[in-house]
Amino acid sequence: MTAHLPETKRKYDLTFARWVSRNVHGGDKLNMCMQCGVCSGSCPLGEQMDYGPRRLFMMIRAGMKDEVMKSDTIWNCVACYRSEVRCPRGVPVTHILDSLSVVAVREGYAEAKNAETTRFAKAFWWSAKKFGLTDERLVTALYYFSGGIGEGIRKGMANQKIALRMIGKKRMHVGMPRKIKRRGELKKILAKAVEIENRNDAAAGEEVKS
Amino acid sequence: MSNGKLSSRTILVVGGGIAGISATVEAAEAGYEVVLVESSPTLGGRVAQLNRYFPKLCQPTCGLEINYQRIKKNRAIKVYTMTSVGKVEGETGNFTVSLNTRPRFVKANCTACGDCAGAAESEIDNPFNYGMDKTKAAYLPHAMAFPLRYVIDPSVIGSPEAEKIKASCTVDAVDLEDKEGSFEIGVGAIIWATGWQPYGAEKITQYGYGEVADVINNVEMERLAAMNGPTAGRIVRPSDGKEAKRVAFIQCAGSRDEKHLPYCSRICCLGSLKHAAYLREQYADAEIDIYYIDIRAHDKLEGFYQKLKNDPQVNFIKSKPGSIVRGESGDPTVKGENTITREIYANSYDLVVLATGMEPSARGEGSSVNLQRDEYGFVVPCVFEPDGMIAAGVASGPLDVSMSVQSATAAALRAIQAIAQGEGK
Ligand SMILES: Cc1cc2nc3c(=O)[nH]c(=O)nc-3n(C[C@H](O)[C@H](O)[C@H](O)COP(=O)(O)OP(=O)(O)OC[C@H]3O[C@@H](n4cnc5c(N)ncnc54)[C@H](O)[C@@H]3O)c2cc1C
Ligand code: SF4
């Protein structure tokens, strides 16, 4: 996904909705939404979201670009897929929220960059890419300290007991990080994935121009 | 049994609900011979199972009664119950149709005295009340049955009980030797009035039908409210018989949903409004919540909606609920998001009614016949090349009773035209 967010001028500006429809995975299905509320009503985290999917989708239609990009709804989605399964109009709710969060980070919104989920995802991806496996210890540490040294120490201390019990139960590995055997192959697979994504985005970009 | 008298001027009507009955009398009163076949033991169809009709809340039985009289008076009409269509061959003006009959085990001289039911011991799920209670294995489908004749359930045939039932009949109307049969007729046009079935609420898994106690569907609500229903008209909850005063209605349960029925079933909004009226009549302190996407009181029925909207004890909540679960107290609890206030709610009720939609019953049955159907399974007319196959009532789309009757009258005219065209060939 490389296309950049459009500039929006008026209060109810349709360019943002159009942009989402073309550049966000599953965004083309958003025009099917009939605001019934089954998504927000099915969400296990519904009460902890500032807007919830239904309202967020209406805000996209209303052109409220900044509010959407800064919302925590896109970060609090745990991808349980309940809303997506129940949506009577076939809107891929989970995919849209996920894809919006990627855009928000890329566009440099501070709320998105500092979101816990972003920081965790970064740590997770670093380990997955480097070792082909996630190292619980390193991922956790990287995530804890991504909010600064103070926060890292505080979180680490708070969860010490759990960590020790996990080590005791052989749920957390100590020593050198484990790695998969053919990391070169993994690199190639990831490079291919990036290539496919770029190609798809280029095609979507063509569509926008036409 | 072949019927030599029937000719290409005969019209076959399949399905004896309000649409099939109306098409039959209209065509017959225009001078055509009509054969009406019905797969169940009685005419009347689904409307016989309704408590009352919106918007005037009148009794469905009264409309049926008038039509039964018209059928009885007209010698051009032949009615075959427990009969369904096997094969259809030929073309407009000249069809050969094979009809299959199921045994009733009771002959036409039955006086409907009920002695056989008195003699029967076994009980079966009562189909009239959607299995909410039991009926004897020798039974009259319901008080408005046509023909007014008992039926013996095949499950007792061959047992000593069957002999006892036979012996109890003083006019010797029980025939335990009755068998399945089939016969052929020749007709010029066929009207399909096969109606609908309630959409299977158990398929909407998040709504807990069949899992959470006191979650019922709207056809069951009709039976609960009816004097001739399982509770003699008392609207109580099935689990413990408690009066159902706090009641939720869930609109579009299965309808307007790509994963279930993609179309609006058109009658369920008015159905639930009517049910709210039943409740308000029965319990002065009833509190009703109607969960909806948008209320569709079609046609000229907006006034009925407005009337209930003005009732402070009937609440409208704009929300398609996410789920229905068993609450801590055991009551069904509806969870979702109120889309106006953006509040996440979990509300408990005595009873939750799923406003399920109408699915064409012709979908499965009679599928051996090559009928033109739309993507939802409703029978559509072949406009450019009339093929003598005509649909009426809910077999043609989700309609209420008055629209079904209109479509039946139109179908009768179409059938007559098809015959005229056939004769011109
Ligand atoms: C909860 C609820 C409440 C409703 N309340 C109202 C109301 O208050 N007012 C109103 O106007 N409408 C109401 N309706 C709508 C109403 O029920 C329908 O409009 C009406 O039943 C349509 O009649 P029909 O003859 O087309 O179909 P049906 O009533 O379904 O009749 C079809 C008949 O065909 C028979 N049949 C089916 N297949 C075959 C076959 N292959 N061979 C032979 N026979 C066959 C069936 O046994 C049945 O007897 C309500 C619907 C629901 C779901
Ligand atoms: S009539 Fe009402 S409840 Fe039924 S499908 Fe249409 S909108 Fe939904």
- B5 lies in some domain: no
- Are A95 and A164 within one domain? no
Scan for tokens 């121009």, then name that residue: A209
More confident residue, B395 or B55: B395
Q: Are residues A52 and A130 in the same domain?
A: no
Which residues does chain A have within 8 Å of residue B321's beta carbon, measured at their own beta carbons?
Answer: 38, 41
Intra-chain end-to-end CA distance of chain B, in Å:
29
Q: What value does the mean pLDDT take over residues A169-183?
A: 90
Total number of domains in chain B = 3
How many whole angstroms separate alpha carbon B3 and alpha carbon B84? Answer: 16
**E-strand stretches of chain A:** none
Which DSSP state fits A7? Answer: P
- Which pLDDT tens digit goes with each residue over B166-192? 999 999 999 999 999 999 999 999 999
Residue with tokens 């809910």: B394
Domain with A69 in it: 14-114
- Centroid of chain to Cα A47: 19
- Chain B contacts in chain A segment 36-75 (CB below 8 A): 36-43, 46-47, 51-52, 54-55
- Residues B101 and B88: their CA atoms lie apart, in Å, by 15
Are A40 and B206 within 8 A, CB to CB?
A: no
Q: Do residues A19 and A109 share a domain?
A: yes
Q: Are A59 and A40 in contact (CB under 8 A)?
A: no
- What ipTM is given for this predicted complex? 0.87
Higher per-residue pLDDT: B420 or B164: B164
Q: Note the pLDDT tens digit of each residue in A18-34.
A: 999 998 999 999 999 99
Domain assignment present for B370? yes
- Strands B323-326 and B332-338, by their bridges, are antiparallel
Comparing CB atoms, the residue among B258, B318, B323 nearest residue A42 is B323
Task: Provide the domain count of chain A.
Answer: 2
Q: How many CA atoms lie within 13 A of B142 on its CB side?
A: 25
Same domain, A101 and A137: no
Q: Which range is least confidently modeled, A193-197, B67-71, B228-232, B406-410?
A: A193-197
Domain assignment of residue B107, yes or no? no
Predicted TM-score of the model (pTM): 0.91
Question: Same domain, yes or no, for B241 and B313?
Answer: yes
Q: Where are the alpha helices (DSSP H) in B17-99?
A: 18-29, 60-73
Rounded alpha-carbon distances, angstroms, from residue A44 to A74, A121, B322: 14, 21, 10
Quick one: which of A134, A139, A129 has its CA closest to A190?
A129
Domain membership of residue B250 as a residue range: 200-356
**Do residue A89 and residue B258 have CB atoms under 8 angstroms apart?**
yes
3-class state of residue B157 by DSSP: coil
Residues B271 and B319 reside in one and the same domain: yes
Model confidence pLDDT, tens digit, residues B323-339 = 999 999 999 999 999 99
Instruction: Answer whether residue A205 is part of any domain.
Output: no
Is the domain of A24 the same as that of A81? yes
CATH number for the domain harbouring residue A38: 1.10.1060.10
Q: What is the distance between the alpha carbons of residues B344 and A54, in angstroms, rounded to a whole number?
A: 12
Which ligand is located closest to the Cα atom of residue B293? 2
Whether A56 and A95 share a structural domain: yes
Within a domain: A104: yes
In a shared domain, residues A99 and A39: yes
State mean pLDDT over B340-365.
90
CA B352 to chain centre: 22
Residues 6+ away with beta carbon under 8 Å from B139: B117, B120, B124, B126, B150, B151, B153
Q: Are residues B157 and B275 in the same domain?
A: no
Distance (Å, whole) CA B87 – CA B185? 11
Q: Which is nearest to B17 in space by CA: B416, B393, B406?
A: B393
